[in-house]
Amino acid sequence: MSDFRAGRLAAMRAKIAAIEAGGRSDSESLPFGDDRIDGRLPGGGLPLGRWHEIVSSGLEVETAAAPAAFTALLATPLAARGEVVWVLRRDDLWAPGLAGLGFPPEKLICVCARDEAEALSVMEDALATLGVAAVIGEAEAVDLTAGRRLQLACEKRGATGFLIRRRPFGGLAKREAGGSAAATRWSVASAPSEPPAGEFGLGAPRFRARLERCRGGRTGAWLFEAPDAYDLEARDGTHPLRLVAELGDRQLAPALPLHANAA
């Protein structure tokens, strides 16, 4: 292949990569600090200046407990850059619980929206506001038009958005619209914790997260662990979420058969 053709091919590949990354080849990313996940994300980390979807299943669709904790930990490093706005659909966010995960509650601004349309509108306004580093919102469904508006709002100030797909008051699920403008889509569920070696009781919170969609990257599934009250300071300056080895099989052994005439 000639140098001319090789140069054009390299330029075309760079252009395609920029389009897949949202048109910003120099966009910043937030690394997790582990190649097992950073190697699958464009730019070696979670793309900033874009918005991300966090979904769940079962009862979590209504309560959003695990997705909310996971999202708060994703946003924790961004709180050092500015305020974090959380747009709620139900006034049930427990700030002390976030503080226990290491999220700084003094950087949190909560807004309770009356409906999904207002929640998305508030997210757009917050993302485009000076001094806001990240916006977390709750909505059941986001069509392509609303998703593109969120992305445009992210690009105004470079803020990062996180949308938790939640149906806070139960009811029937809305019909899913095809396609998404989100940079990544995560499916999150709680996982059994494990106490430190030689200790009893509960350990740090754990999440089973699957990266279902990633523009310019590759999907995957991992087991994450949050910091506990004893190692928050030890992890200062690093991403609070870390990967851990898969848990072993904790199922009980089958019961032995009972014999009526046992000796």
CATH number at residue 121: 3.40.50.300
Give me Rg for the CA atoms of the chain.
21
**What is the number of structural domains in the chain?**
1
Query: Parallel, antiparallel, or unpaired: how do β-strands 83-88 and 132-139 relate?
Result: parallel
Is 160 within the bounds of a domain? Answer: yes
Is 118 within the bounds of a domain? Answer: yes
Q: What is the pLDDT along the chain (263 residues), one digit of tens a residue?
A: 555 565 556 556 544 554 444 444 457 999 999 999 999 999 999 999 999 999 999 888 899 999 999 999 999 999 999 999 999 999 999 989 999 899 999 999 999 999 999 999 999 999 999 999 999 999 998 999 999 999 999 999 999 999 999 988 876 566 665 668 899 999 999 999 888 777 777 888 999 999 999 999 999 999 999 876 545 444 555 688 989 876 444 444 454 454 444 44
Is 13 within the bounds of a domain? Answer: no
List phi, psi (to 5°) of 170: 70, -150
Is 16 within the bounds of a domain? Answer: no
pTM of the model: 0.80
Coil/strand/helix, residue 20: helix
∠240-244-247 over CA atoms, to 5°? 135
CA-to-CA separations, 99 to 65, 82, 130, 216, 242, in angstroms, rounded: 15, 17, 24, 33, 18
CB atoms within 10 A of CB 199: 9
Is 36 within the bounds of a domain? Answer: yes
What is the span of the domain harbouring residue 107? 21-243
Is 253 within the bounds of a domain? Answer: no
Coil/strand/helix, residue 39: coil
DSSP 249: P
**Percent of the chain residues topping a pLDDT of 70:** 76
Is 111 within the bounds of a domain? Answer: yes
Is 202 within the bounds of a domain? Answer: yes
